[in-house]
Amino acid sequence: MTATDRSARAVAMPGATRPPVRRPATLAARLLACRAGVSAVEFALICPVILALILGGVDLSRYIAYTRKVGEAAQTIASLVTQNASGSVNLYDLYFANDSSMVIFPDALRDAKARGSAWYETILITITSVKFSQTSASCTGNCSYTAKVAWSYGLRQRPCNVALTPASDTAEPTPGTLPANVFGPGSVIVVEAAYVFTPILANALIGTRVIARTSYLAPRYVPAIAFDPGMGSTATTVCPGV
């Protein structure tokens, strides 16, 4: 008896078991059971999130660095002006102080070239002298003061003949206010620096942002620093009677 005969006879014998019949799996079942390409799908889902974090991190680090540099530029200009010991500055003194922002913040030069504009239009500097006068001439202690602009230089000058109001030390600076803690006898030099920050990678998502910082310093050697128009008065306004 051959092997083929024995196999056929065994199948025909009573009580013999038959192998299970497999039914064709449906397409949905095959897809659910399939594990091929899972990593690729997971990467495709996570990749946009990772890219957004990386791109956002680059622009965030630039924004933080630029904010610090704009603040340093305002502080440096205020320090240069308040070191004056003669009691007056001319236009070229203000030019020199203003141009120091290029040393502190050289990125403004590169950005100006990319935008096709002058560097002083990229970072806007305003230098203002504010003088204080006692509200009551007979006051001898704990006096209140009125603050008015004596002169202002720059493209965003503070207005003349307007009494500046005290504001909270943490309030956003405005042309018509000063922090309450700078009010007192004498004067103060106010330097305002504003820079338009443009993200490199996330510009389409968040657009441009204005970084603004203000520095307040009293003159070191004289009660107030006047403006001398003898060398010109371009971009400078002297307020009469202050």
What digits encode the pLDDT tens for the residues 33-61? 666 666 777 767 887 777 777 777 888 89
In this predicted structure, what is the pLDDT of residue 146?
A: 94
- Is the residue at 31 inside a domain? no
Looking at the structure of the chain, the number of domains it has is 1
Condensed to tens digits (0 to 9), the pLDDT of residues 115-138 reads 888 888 889 999 999 999 999 888
| DSSP letter for each residue of the chain | --HHHHHHHHHHSTTPPPPPPPPPPPHHHHHHH--TTHHHHHHHHHHHHHHHHHHHHHHHHHHHHHHHHHHHHHHHHHHHHHT--SSEE-HHHHHHHHHHHHHH-THHHHHHHHHTS-HHHHEEEEEEEEEEEESSTT--SS--EEEEEEEEEESSPPPSS-PBEEE-TTSPP-TTEEEGGG-SSSEEEEEEEEEEE--SSSHHHH--EEEEEEEEE--SSSS--EE-GGG--TTEEEPTT-
Q: Does some domain include residue 25?
A: no
Whole-model pTM: value is 0.78
Query: Does residue 218 lie within any of the structural domains?
Result: yes
Q: Is the pLDDT of residue 142 over 90?
A: no
Give a yes or no: residue 29 inside a domain: no
Would the pLDDT of 214 be above 60? yes
Mean pLDDT (the chain, rounded):
85
Residue 8 has pLDDT above 50, yes or no: no
Give the structural domain span for 62. Answer: 46-238
